[in-house]
C-alpha cells in the first residue's frame, strides 16, 4: 500500500511514455461549522468501518484494535474535530498520437 501514490503518479505515467502528464491539486478542506462538515469528516471513520476488516483479514491488526480505532475516531469527531484536510492530486496523461 502506497499512501503517497499521488506524489508518484506523474513519474509513473511518464515512465509509461504517456504525454502531457499534468498534476493539479484537488485538496479538500472542511472545518467545523462549514456546510457539509459532518458528512465530510466521517470519511475515515467509514474507511475504518469498511476497509478496516480487510486489514484484519490481512493480519495488519486484530478486530479489537480496528473497533477501538473506529470508536476513538468517532469520539474525536464528536468532541474535538475542528478541521479535516485531504491531500488529493489529479494526475492525467495521454498516449502520444503516434501510439493511438
Domain that holds residue 54: 35-81
For the stretch 59-85, pLDDT in tens is 999 999 999 999 999 999 999 999 999
My answer on whether 23 and 61 are in the same domain is: no
My answer on whether 73 and 90 are in the same domain is: no
Write down the pTM of the prediction: 0.70
Given pLDDT bands bounded at 50, 70 and 90, which one contains residue 100? low
My answer on whether 59 and 93 are in the same domain is: no
My answer on whether 27 and 39 are in the same domain is: no
Instruction: Tell me the DSSP string of 27-93.
Output: -EEEETTSTTHHHHHTHHHHHHHHTHHHHHHTTSS-HHHHHHHHHHHHHHHHHT--EEEE--EEEEE
- What's the whole-number average pLDDT of the chain? 92
How many domains would you assign to the chain? Answer: 2
Residue 98 has pLDDT above 80, yes or no: no
My answer on whether 58 and 70 are in the same domain is: yes
Q: For residue 17, give the 3-state DSSP assignment.
A: coil
My answer on whether 49 and 68 are in the same domain is: yes
For the stretch 25-55, pLDDT in tens is 999 999 999 998 989 999 889 999 999 999 9
My answer on whether 91 and 72 are in the same domain is: no
pLDDT of residue 3: 80
My answer on whether 42 and 65 are in the same domain is: yes
Residue 99 has pLDDT above 80, yes or no: no
Amino acid at each position: 500500500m502506497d499512501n503517497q501514490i499521488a506524489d508518484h503518479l506523474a513519474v509513473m505515467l511518464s515512465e509509461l511514455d504517456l504525454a502531457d502528464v499534468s498534476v493539479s491539486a484537488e485538496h479538500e478542506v472542511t472545518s467545523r461549522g462549514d456546510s457539509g462538515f459532518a458528512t465530510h469528516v466521517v470519511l475515515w471513520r467509514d474507511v475504518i468501518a469498511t476497509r478496516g476488516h480487510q486489514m484484519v483479514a490481512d493480519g495488519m491488526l486484530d478486530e479489537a484494535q480496528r473497533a477501538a480505532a473506529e470508536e476513538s475516531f468517532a469520539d474525536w469527531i464528536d468532541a474535538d474535530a475542528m478541521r479535516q484536510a485531504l491531500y488529493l492530486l489529479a494526475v492525467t496523461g495521454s498516449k502520444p498520437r503516434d501510439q493511438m
